[in-house]
Structure 1
Amino acid sequence: MVYKFTILSDEVDDFVRVIKIDADATFYDFHKAILKACGYKDDQMTSFFICEDDWEKREEITLEDMGKSSSEEDVFIMKDTKINDLVEDERQKLIYVFDLLTERSLFIELSEIIPGKDLLKAEIARKEGKAPIQTVDFETAMEKTLKNRMDNDDLDDSLYGDKDFNDDELDLDGFNISEGNPYDDSNY
């Protein structure tokens, strides 16, 4: 059985990759196919996440065992986990985090299941647009995040308080402050 995955980015609008891969292949094989399709180097820690329909992350499949999970939690390693162990249904959503420091990701959906066929190695079936750059400087990413927050119309001065604050609305009794009287340290 062959799985056909469609891969998109929230950073680059015209970026699309479609990868066909055997359902019995490992997540490591899929990882290598994504690196090749995007022109990325294999020098970063990455993870796949199996997601709910609303992209909420569930199971994580890591490149290497980081020893961070509790004994109750299953640990999935890319080289040891077949894709069809965790992905069975069309429209299944996955996230591929390719830059863990800044949590930059690709969004993946199983767009088609092709029964009765096998693939020895993954194929790039469609390649459009330029891939997002693989890594960004952490400070640059933080500046971009802050700029986006400042440019976002949903966030304004009212986030931190009413920009039309009126001094008359302040309850000085609640702070044990007398209005207009100079500080007298003899009371202390």
Structure 2
Amino acid sequence: MIYKFRALLDNDTEEDIFRDIEIRETDSLEDLHNAITQSFGFDGLEMASFYISNNDWDQGEEISMFDVSEGANAVRLMNETILNTVVSKTQTKLIYVYDFMNMWTFLIELAEIAEESEGTDYPNLMFVHGQIPDAAPQKEFEAENFDDDYDEFEDELDVDDYDNLDFDENWN
């Protein structure tokens, strides 16, 4: 079977920027990563991760390019994760982040599951809409329940006044 995905740049511009990509359900997330980076004109050399998402686009479990956890926690890897193990008719959404310094963020949604077309090479870029901007869209994060009156330094402690601090400044 063939999965047809729409990869939409998560931005706040008036024009949507997306790519429609066909890929075999038995291909890996690394194959999808490569198809996305190529279709948007990236070199594919930066770190990236997929995140399983729900219908509200909440970020769930990470599936990474490389295991950088140093053995602390088991990490799923793109090259070991087959598409049909994370995406299905009931689980259709992924979040894809490319280049963690710039945070290019894409909303990936399974649009259709179809039969493989004879003579078609997969992955297949089906449709291109919009041009990728020169820089990643800036995200604005809002804190929930943030008290504007909170002052981290309200105790007026002078950290440069060593004589009145409660520790030995030559402890080591």
3-state DSSP of counterpart to 1:17? strand
Deviations 1:15-69 (A, max 9, x none): 1210000000011110110011000012200001110111112221111111267
Report the counterpart of residue 10 of structure 1 in structure 2: 10
CA distance in 2, matches of 1:33, 1:15: 16
1:19 matched to 2:18? The reply is no
Normalised by the length of structure 2, the TM-score is 0.71
2:50 aligned partner: 48
What TM-score, normalized by structure 1, do the two folds share?
Answer: 0.65
Q: What corresponds to 1:96 in structure 2?
A: 96
**Runs of 4+ off more than 3 Å:** 68-71, 115-120
Across the two proteins, how many residue pairs are aligned to each other? 144
1:160 match: 148
Supply the distance in 1 between the matched residues of 2:78 and 2:121 (Cα, whole angstroms).
18
Are the structure 2 counterparts of residues 91 and 128 from structure 1 closer, same or farther at C-alpha, using a change threshold of 3 Å?
farther
Task: Please say if residues 22 and 120 of structure 1, whose CA atoms lie closer than 8 Å, have aligned partners that are also in contact.
Answer: no
- Structure 2: tracts of 5 or more residues without a match: 150-172
Structure 2 counterparts to residues 111-130 of structure 1, below 5 A = 111-115=111-115, 120-130=121-131
Distance 1:28 1:125 in 2: 19
The structure having more radius of gyration, on CA atoms, is 1
Deviation, 1:99, is 2.4
- RMSD (CA atoms): 2.9
- The one-letter amino acid of 2:57's match is W
Give the direction of change, closer, same or farther, for the CA distance of 1:116–1:9 in structure 2 (3 Å limit). Answer: closer
